Amino acid sequence: MSDRTVLHVKGRVLVGPEEVRDELWVVDGRISYDRPAGARDIRTVRGWALPGLVDAHCHVGLDRHGAVPQDVAEKQALTDRDAGTLLIRDAGSPSDTRWIDDRDDLPKIIRAGRHIARTRRYIRNYAWEIEPDDLVAYVAQEARRGDGWVKLVGDWIDRDLGDLSACWPRGAVEAAIAEAHRLGARVTAHCFSEDSLQDLVEAGIDCIEHATGLTEDLIPLFAERGVAIVPTLVNIATFPQLADGGESRFPRWSAHMRRLHERRYDTVRGAYDAGIPVFVGTDAGGGLAHGLAAAEVAELVTAGIPPVEALAAGTWTARTWLGRPGLDEGAPADLVVYDEDPRKDVGVLAAPRRVVLNGRVVG
């Protein structure tokens, strides 16, 4: 497909959950709903078209040991792309992946800078590990380094306690979140347990990752403040294995992780029912494979979220939340085409027919 080729997507174009068009055109990499005059070199793709999938919790350039070489990061990004994920919120990475922005064949990335964690309270080689007095300065640094997001580690295992516990005192997170907002960045936090959530939400945080500790008494607070969650259920599925591995040293932590896992679907459904925004994220790039956004949408459905709403959480509403366009007139043509209607069966997402990125068919 040359730069002069006009792409004609014909069939059913899902501009939104209810807004469906019969066709769109791609001219010079951008979407048009008007047939271009004089177009001769036309390639037609047929099927059900969606905006490119969104993985709102992904780590390109990271594996279980830390930063990876550029060729490995490229393979990670290509894996996501070929699975239909064309927009990624990179929720913390020690790697500099700005080079990806110069590649029109790789997904677009919204970065949260590097994780900010308490000393010896996170995975080795991942985060800046600091103490509370330095939190504001590091949040400011990462707000400037990222693309409008900062990522805190809100809780982790306390080895002396033998269980999960909050990492930061209330005053520190209040000051840090206020500084991020002053600099125009939103703040999210890794949180497995219950005890870190109230302070973070009342301090003004914008999003919570995983949110397995969300309880009935906290749900109204999240809903009132409009704090989003990204449950990463495909990652939470690994909790029993993690618990087994830590049983001998940290039995209290292991039991806690199993409880969080057992009620994961009830937690997510309770959040959705209360009106808390829920978005698709996989946590790929640590110990988890890339290309799992479709599996996460299916997990949200298993949790009890209606299929169209689960689909929206990884497409239309996710793009709006992140400030990126969907299948809008004049927008970059980032879309995925399927053989069947994914609103009726989200399992369709696992088998893209065509992937179009910046107006070019790349898969």
Q: Which residue ranges make up each domain of the chain?
A: 6-50+325-362, 53-322
H/E/C letters for each residue in 79-141?
Answer: HHHHCCEEEEEECCCCCCCHHHHHCCCCCEEEECCCCEEECCCCCCCCCEEECHHHHHHHHHH
Measured CA to CA, the distance from residue 212 to residue 266 in angstroms comes to: 10
- DSSP assignment, residue 222? H
| DSSP SS3 for 161 | coil
Q: Are strands 30-32 and 228-230 parallel, antiparallel or unpaired?
A: unpaired
Mean pLDDT across 267-276? 98
Average pLDDT over residues 96-102: 97
The share of the chain scoring above pLDDT 90, in percent, equals 96
CATH code, 53-322 = 3.20.20.140
Distance of alpha carbon 154 from alpha carbon 152, whole angstroms: 6
Residue 98 near residue 110 (C-beta atoms within 8 A): no
Task: Determine the pLDDT at residue 113.
Answer: 95
Per residue, what are the HEC states of 24-84? EEEECCEEECCCCCCCCCEEEEEEEEEECEEEEEECCCEECCEECCHHHHHHHHHHHHHCC
Q: Please tell me the distance from the alpha carbon of residue 292 to that of residue 281, in angstroms, as a whole number.
A: 9
| pLDDT band for position 3 (cuts 50, 70, 90) | low
Q: Tokens 């689960």, residue?
A: 310
Q: Which position has the higher pLDDT, 57 or 37?
A: 57
Q: What is the mean pLDDT of residues 72-84?
A: 98
Name which of 178, 161, 225, 236 is nearest 197 in CA terms: 225
What's the average model confidence in pLDDT over 34-41?
A: 86
Report the 10 Å Cβ neighbour count for 362.
17
Average pLDDT over residues 135-156: 98
**Taking all residues of the chain, what is their mean pLDDT, rounded to a whole number?**
97
Could you read off the pLDDT of 176-185 as tens digits, one per residue?
A: 999 999 999 9
* Nearest alpha-carbon partner for 116 in 98, 97, 100, 131: 131
Strands ordered across the beta sheet of 42-51: 30-32, 20-27, 6-14, 42-51, 335-338, 354-357, 360-361
Q: Identify the band that residue 37 occupies on the pLDDT scale cut at 50, 70 and 90.
A: confident
pTM of the model: 0.97
Q: Tokens 């985060």 correspond to what residue? A: 127
> What is the rounded distance in angstroms from the CA atom of residue 149 to the CA atom of residue 280?
17
User: What does the H/E/C string look like for 183-196?
Assistant: CCCEEEEEECCCCC
User: What pLDDT does 95 receive?
Assistant: 95
Calculated CA dihedral for residues 345, 350, 351, 357, nearest 10 degrees: 110
CATH class of the domain at 6-50+325-362: mainly beta
Q: What is the pLDDT of residues 278-318, one digit of tens each?
A: 999 999 998 899 999 999 999 999 999 999 999 999 999 99
When pLDDT is averaged across residues 317-322 and rounded to a whole number, the result is 98
Is the pLDDT score of 335 beyond 70?
Answer: yes
Two tokens, residue 148: 């409008």
| C-alpha to C-alpha distance for 345 and 308, rounded to whole angstroms | 9
